[in-house]
A and B are shown apart, each in its own frame.
Chain A
Amino acid sequence: MEKQGELVQGTLDMLVLKALARGAKHGYGVAEWIHESSNDVLHVEEGALYPALHRLELRGLLTAEWGASQNNRRAKFYSLTAAGRKKLAEEAEYWRRMSGAIAHVMQSV
C-alpha cells in the first residue's frame, strides 16, 4: 500500500490552481494551504511542488511576481491568470464527476 497522503497522479496541478483561487501565494504558502485544507491529510512534496509551479507558469496558467512575505522576506508570489481560472473550473468539474462516479462504484454491493 502506498504512502499515506500521496497525491493521485495529475491532481497536484489542480490542487495548486485551487490553492491560488483566492489570491496570490508563494510556494510555501501553497504547500501549507493544501496541507491545512485537507485536514493535514495531503502532504505536497517540495520536489514535486516547484516543478509543478514552473510548469503551470510556462503554460501561462499562472503568473509570478516578486513581493514581500508576512515576515518581510522577498518571495515569489504566484497568482492565477484568466486561462488558469478557466482551467481550474474545467478540472474541478471533471474531478466532481470522476469522484462521484468512483464513490458510486465503491458503494455498490
Chain B
Amino acid sequence: MPAWLTEISLRIKALFRRRRLDRELEEEMAFHLAMLEEANRALGADPEEARHAAGRRFGNVTRMKEVCREMWSFTLVEGLWRDLRYGARTLGKNPGFTVTAVLAIALGIGVNTGIFSVLNGVALKLLPVPRAQQIVSVDQMFHGKFSRNVHGESGLFSYSEYKNYRENNHVFSGLLAYAPFLEATLGGESPKQLMGAETSCNFFDVLGERPALGRVFVEADCSAPGASPVVVLSDNLWRSRFAAEPQMVGKSVSLNRAKFVVIGVAAPGFAGLDPWPSEFWAPLTMQKALEPDSDLLSENNTGWLALLGRMRGRVSLEEVRADLGVIAGRLDQQYPGRTTTLAIRRATFLGRQEEQTVVFGIGAVVLAAVGLVLLIACANVANLLLARASSRQKEIAIRLSIGGSRWRIIRQLLTESLLIAFLGGTLGSLVAFWSIEGVARFVLAHLPHDVPRLVWNVSPDLHVWGYSLALTALTGIVFGLAPALHATRQDLSTAIKSDGGRFMGKAASGGMLRSILVGVQVAVCLVLLIAAGLLMRGLYLAQTVDPGFEMKGITQARFDLPSQGYNEEHARVFQRELMARVAALPGVDAVEQARVTPLSHDFLGTGLTLTGETQERQFEFNVVSPGFFTILEMPMVRGREFTREETQSDAGVLVVTESTARELWPAQDAIGKTLRDGSKKEFQVVGVVKDSQASRLGQTGGLFFYMPAGPKEQDRLQLLVHSKGGDIATAKGIRESARALDPDLIVDVTRLEDNLEFWRTPSRIVAALSGVLGALALLLSSIGVYGVVSYGVSQRTREIGIRMTLGADGGDVMWLLLRQAMRPVLIGAAFGVAGCAAVSQILSKVLYGIGSHDPIAFVGVPVFLLGIALLASYIPARRATKVDPVVALRYE
C-alpha cells in the first residue's frame, strides 16, 4: 500500500474514533509524565518536587496534544463542518436577513434555472430513443458558386446524396433519412391535416424503435418508387382518430387522397425527431403519392431529406467527420465551384444548423436577461451582507486581533454566503422545476393557430441540475467575496475601541462599496426595464400599425389543390365554381385570388434580369388577380392594374412596388421597362404600386413584383373575399361552398387580420418575458435602495440627533439623506441608459417594430425608476426626521 493511502486510511479510521484517539493521547502523555516523575524520585527528589520538575520539563501538554490531534484529523473537512454549523447558527439568529437574502437568491436562480431547462428541453436533450448517445445528425453547408433547389431548409440532402452516404460510409451501423416538413390530409368523414414524415425504410430500425402493434418498414417497402403504399401511425393518432382499434393493422387510410395500408402503430411516446410531433410515417419511395406536384426522388440537386446515423461501437465523432467528408468531397466533384462542409453532432431536437442558429441566438439573449436579474439579486444580498458585516465589525476585529488568520475568517464568511446561496438555489430551482412545465404548456397554448403544435420536454435532467448547482456556487462566491474581503480589511484598533466611524458624515465603513453596488443594481435594472419598455412599445406599435393596405372585412380561404391530386384543368374548374358560389354569398362584394395572401409568412422568390444587364437579380413576388390591389386598397402610383384579359392569357406584364422602381430605375419612369426570367420570357412593367408591408410586417423594402394570375396558376391560388356582412357568416359560407364542391378538401378560412398574429407573437412573448423580468428587477432594486438608505439612517441616528440639536430641521436632514442616497442611483441610471442604447440597437434588428431611440422608453422608464428609488429612500429618511434628538443621543 503506498504511503499516502496508508495515511488516508489511518486518518479516516481516526475520524470515527476521535474520542478514543483523544483518550489514548491523554494516556500516552500521562505515562510519560509518570516515568519522568519516577526518574526524578530515583535521583532523590521528594514526590512533590519530582512531579513539578517533570511538569516543567514536559512543557505545555495541551499544546502538544493539540499538535498531535491536528495531525490525525482532516482539518479542512472538519473545519468546513464547523464553519457550516457556525454559519447556520448565525443565519438562524437573524431570520429577517436570512429570509430576505434567501428569497432574493431564490428568485434569481429560479428564473435562470427555469429558462435553462426550457433551452435544455428544446435543444440540448438527446433524442428520446434507445441508446441515443450513438445517434448523430448529419447536416451540410455549401460554399462557393452553385445552384441548388431547397425544399424546407438549405442543409437538407437529396435522395441520391443520401444513397451515396448510406452506401459508402464505414462508420454507421445504419443511416436513416426523412423529410421533416410533410403535411397530409387524412381523408374520412371530417378530413384532418396531419404532420408526418416520409422516411427511409431503416428509419425505425436505426432508431431502435419497436412498434406497439403490427410491424415497421422493411427494405422491400422501399424497393421501387410508388411500389409499397404502407404507413405506420403514431400512438396518438391511433387513439384519437381510430379509438385505439385493436384490428388496425391491414386497414387502409387515405393520405392526400392516396390509399395507404396501415402496417403498424408506433410505441406510445415516440413522435418523430422534431419538436412538432409526427402522426404518421410512410416510405420515402411514396413521395410522389403524398406530394403529387413534385417528384423529389429523381431530383439529384434538391435538398429535402434530414440524415441521422447510428454510429458503430467505438467510432468517434472525428472518425465520422473524416469518413463522411471524403464522400462529400466526391459529391462536390459533380458540381464544379461548390464546396460542402458537413456538421456532425449528437442528435437533438432542433439540431440542424439553421435551427441551432435561431435557438441559440434567442437562448443567449434570454439567458443574458435572466443573468442580469440574478446579478441584481447578488448585488442586493452583497449589500445586506456588507451592512451586516459592519455590525459584526467588533466580532471580526476581535477574532483578527487574537490571531485568527484573515483567510480563516474569509472562509467562515464565504461559508455563510454559500449557505445562503444553496438555500436560495435549492428553493428557486425546486419552484422552477415544479412550475416550468405549466408555464411551457401555457406559452405553447397561446401560439398563433397556424404554428404547428409543439412538444417540449422541459423536465429537468442532469444538465439542468448541473447548471443550477454551478450557478448557485458561483452566485454564493460572487455576492459573498467582496463583503468578506471588505469586512476583514479593517483598522483593528478603531473598530474595537469605538463606533467612531458611525459618528461623522463620512458614513460607516463600506459606504463606497455599498454605493457602487446600488449603482450597479440601478444600471442593470434600467437596462432590463428599458428593454422591456421598448418591447412593449413595439408590441403596441405592432397592434396599431398601418401595414399600408386594408385588412378589415377581408376573409382568406387557403387550400392546397396540387397535394390533393388536382391537375391544372381540374383546378381551373374548381376555382371558377368556388368563386362563383362565394360571390353569390350575402354581403360579399369582391372575390379575388393571390398565390400568397398578405402577411401569411409564405414567400415566393425568383430571379429576373433587367434588359441591358447580364447579372440576375433576386426578387420576391406574388401572383394576383386584377382586383387584388383594389380590394386591399393599395393605390397605384403610376400606370395601371392588371386587366381581365391579361389574366386569361399568359401576358408578360408586371406591377412593381414603388421602392423597387426607385432602386432599379432611379430618376426614370419605370413604366415600359422590361425584364426577362430564366426561360428568356420578357415581361413589361405596366404599373407601380405604393409600398406596403404586404410580405413582412414592418418592412417595405426589397425588390418585389406582382404578376397576373393566368390560367396556368389556377391550382396554386388562394381566395381573398371582401364582405360587408359578418366575418363569421362569410367564413361559414365559404366553407360550405368548398365542401359542396369537394368534401375531402381541407379549406383554412380565417380573417386576413389573423395573419398579424404570427408577426406579433414573438414580440408578445418577449414583451411578456421582459415585462416579468423587468418587474422582478425593479422589485429587487427598490428593496436594495430601501435597505441601503434605512441602514444608513440607523447607523447615523446619533449624528442626526446632534444635527437636530444644533438647529437643523427635518427638511435639512431629509435633504442630506436623500442627496446621499440618490447620488449612486443617478450615476447608475446614467450608465444604465448608455448600456441600453447598445442593447436596443441589437433588439431593433431582431424584433419587429422596435425603434432603437424610442423617447418614451428612454425617458419614461428612467424617470419611473428614479421615482421608485426616491420613494424607497424617502420612507426610511422620513423616519430619521422624526427622531427625538434626546433619544438619538442616548442611542447605543
Pick from B28-36, B399-407, B720-728 the stretch touching chain A: B28-36
B59 contacts A59, C-beta separation under 8 Å: no
Contact with B31, one of A54, A57, A74 (Cβ below 8 angstroms): A74
B11 contacts A47, C-beta separation under 8 Å: no
CB closest chain-B residue, reference A69? B31
CB closest chain-A residue, reference B57? A46
B68 contacts A51, C-beta separation under 8 Å: yes
The answer for the CA separation of A25 and B675 in the assembled complex, in Å, is: 110
The answer for the CA separation of A28 and B36 in the assembled complex, in Å, is: 8
For B3, B24, B35, B71, the residue with the greatest tally of chain A CB atoms inside 10 Å of its CB is B35
B32 contacts A58, C-beta separation under 8 Å: no
CB closest chain-A residue, reference B29? A50
The answer for the CA separation of A54 and B7 in the assembled complex, in Å, is: 11
B31 contacts A50, C-beta separation under 8 Å: no
Asked whether A85 is an interface residue with its Cβ less than 8 Å from the other chain, the reply is no
A76 to chain B: which residues have CB within 8 Å?
24, 27-28, 31
The answer for the CA separation of A75 and B27 in the assembled complex, in Å, is: 8
Asked whether B831 is an interface residue with its Cβ less than 8 Å from the other chain, the reply is no
A55 to chain B: which residues have CB within 8 Å?
71
The answer for the CA separation of A77 and B139 in the assembled complex, in Å, is: 73
CB closest chain-A residue, reference B70? A51
A28 contacts B67, C-beta separation under 8 Å: no
B11 to chain A: which residues have CB within 8 Å?
58
The answer for the CA separation of A28 and B59 in the assembled complex, in Å, is: 15
- Encoded as 1 (CB less than 8 Å from any B CB) or 0, chain A from 39 to 82 comes to 00000011100110011011110000010010101111000000
CB closest chain-A residue, reference B11? A58
Shortest distance between the CB of A60 and any CB in chain B (Å): 4
The answer for the CA separation of A21 and B446 in the assembled complex, in Å, is: 85
B247 to chain A: which residues have CB within 8 Å?
none
Asked whether B6 is an interface residue with its Cβ less than 8 Å from the other chain, the reply is yes
The answer for the CA separation of A36 and B92 in the assembled complex, in Å, is: 60
Shortest distance between the CB of A52 and any CB in chain B (Å): 10
The answer for the CA separation of A75 and B31 in the assembled complex, in Å, is: 7
Given A47-B60, A74-B27, verify A54-B32 contact (CB < 8 Å): no
CB closest chain-B residue, reference A54? B68
Asked whether B729 is an interface residue with its Cβ less than 8 Å from the other chain, the reply is no
Asked whether B64 is an interface residue with its Cβ less than 8 Å from the other chain, the reply is yes
Asked whether B74 is an interface residue with its Cβ less than 8 Å from the other chain, the reply is no
Contact with A28, one of B27, B32, B63 (Cβ below 8 angstroms): B32
Shortest distance between the CB of B678 and any CB in chain A (Å): 86
B7 to chain A: which residues have CB within 8 Å?
58-60
B68 contacts A50, C-beta separation under 8 Å: yes
B34 to chain A: which residues have CB within 8 Å?
73
Asked whether B276 is an interface residue with its Cβ less than 8 Å from the other chain, the reply is no
Interface residues in B33-75 (C-beta closer than 8 Å to A): 34-36, 38, 57-60, 63-64, 67-68, 71-72
B63 to chain A: which residues have CB within 8 Å?
47
Shortest distance between the CB of B38 and any CB in chain A (Å): 8
Asked whether B315 is an interface residue with its Cβ less than 8 Å from the other chain, the reply is no
B28 to chain A: which residues have CB within 8 Å?
27, 50, 75-76
The answer for the CA separation of A46 and B32 in the assembled complex, in Å, is: 9
Asked whether B368 is an interface residue with its Cβ less than 8 Å from the other chain, the reply is no
The answer for the CA separation of A28 and B54 in the assembled complex, in Å, is: 12
A47 contacts B6, C-beta separation under 8 Å: no
The answer for the CA separation of A26 and B36 in the assembled complex, in Å, is: 13
A66 to chain B: which residues have CB within 8 Å?
24
Shortest distance between the CB of B31 and any CB in chain A (Å): 5
Asked whether A83 is an interface residue with its Cβ less than 8 Å from the other chain, the reply is yes
B35 to chain A: which residues have CB within 8 Å?
28, 69
Contact with A59, one of B3, B36, B64, B67 (Cβ below 8 angstroms): B3
A71 to chain B: which residues have CB within 8 Å?
38
- Encoded as 1 (CB less than 8 Å from any A CB) or 0, chain B from 72 to 100 comes to 10000000000000000000000000000
Asked whether B875 is an interface residue with its Cβ less than 8 Å from the other chain, the reply is no
Given A76-B24, A76-B28, verify A51-B57 contact (CB < 8 Å): no
A45 contacts B31, C-beta separation under 8 Å: no
B3 contacts A83, C-beta separation under 8 Å: yes
A28 to chain B: which residues have CB within 8 Å?
31-32, 35-36
B32 to chain A: which residues have CB within 8 Å?
27-28, 46, 50
For B6, B36, B57, B63, the residue with the greatest tally of chain A CB atoms inside 10 Å of its CB is B6
Given A28-B35, A60-B7, verify A46-B68 contact (CB < 8 Å): no
The answer for the CA separation of A76 and B25 in the assembled complex, in Å, is: 9
B741 to chain A: which residues have CB within 8 Å?
none
B57 contacts A54, C-beta separation under 8 Å: no
Asked whether B10 is an interface residue with its Cβ less than 8 Å from the other chain, the reply is yes
Interface residues in B852-874 (C-beta closer than 8 Å to A): none
A54 contacts B71, C-beta separation under 8 Å: yes
The answer for the CA separation of A58 and B63 in the assembled complex, in Å, is: 19
For A50, A55, A83, the residue with the greatest tally of chain B CB atoms inside 10 Å of its CB is A50
The answer for the CA separation of A75 and B29 in the assembled complex, in Å, is: 10
A46 contacts B71, C-beta separation under 8 Å: no
B59 contacts A54, C-beta separation under 8 Å: no
The answer for the CA separation of A76 and B29 in the assembled complex, in Å, is: 10
CB closest chain-A residue, reference B54? A46
The answer for the CA separation of A28 and B11 in the assembled complex, in Å, is: 25
The answer for the CA separation of A6 and B795 in the assembled complex, in Å, is: 57
Shortest distance between the CB of B710 and any CB in chain A (Å): 96
A51 contacts B72, C-beta separation under 8 Å: no
CB closest chain-A residue, reference B68? A54
B64 contacts A51, C-beta separation under 8 Å: yes
B64 contacts A73, C-beta separation under 8 Å: no
A59 to chain B: which residues have CB within 8 Å?
3, 6-7
The answer for the CA separation of A60 and B27 in the assembled complex, in Å, is: 22
Shortest distance between the CB of B570 and any CB in chain A (Å): 93
Given A28-B36, A54-B68, A83-B3, verify A46-B31 contact (CB < 8 Å): no
Shortest distance between the CB of A71 and any CB in chain B (Å): 8
A50 to chain B: which residues have CB within 8 Å?
28-29, 32, 64, 67-68
CB closest chain-A residue, reference B6? A60
- Encoded as 1 (CB less than 8 Å from any A CB) or 0, chain B from 1 to 21 comes to 101001100110000000000
CB closest chain-B residue, reference A28? B35
The answer for the CA separation of A75 and B11 in the assembled complex, in Å, is: 22
The answer for the CA separation of A76 and B31 in the assembled complex, in Å, is: 9
Shortest distance between the CB of A100 and any CB in chain B (Å): 29
For A46, A55, A57, A83, the residue with the greatest tally of chain B CB atoms inside 10 Å of its CB is A46
B36 to chain A: which residues have CB within 8 Å?
28
CB closest chain-A residue, reference B14? A58
Shortest 6 CB-CB distances between A and B: which pairs? A60-B6, A28-B35, A54-B68, A47-B59, A76-B28, A75-B31
Listed in ascending order, the chain B residues whose CB lies under 8 Å from chain A are 1, 3, 6-7, 10-11, 24, 27-29, 31-32, 34-36, 38, 57-60, 63-64, 67-68, 71-72
24 interchain pairs (CB within 8 A)?
A27-B31, A27-B32, A45-B59, A46-B58, A46-B59, A47-B58, A47-B59, A47-B60, A47-B64, A50-B64, A50-B68, A51-B71, A54-B71, A58-B7, A58-B72, A59-B3, A60-B1, A60-B7, A69-B35, A73-B31, A73-B34, A75-B28, A76-B27, A83-B3
Listed in ascending order, the chain A residues whose CB lies under 8 Å from chain B are 26-28, 45-47, 50-51, 54-55, 57-60, 66, 69, 71, 73-76, 83
| Given A46-B59, A76-B27, A83-B3; 9 other pairs, CB 8 A cutoff | A26-B31, A28-B32, A28-B35, A47-B60, A47-B63, A47-B64, A57-B10, A59-B6, A60-B6
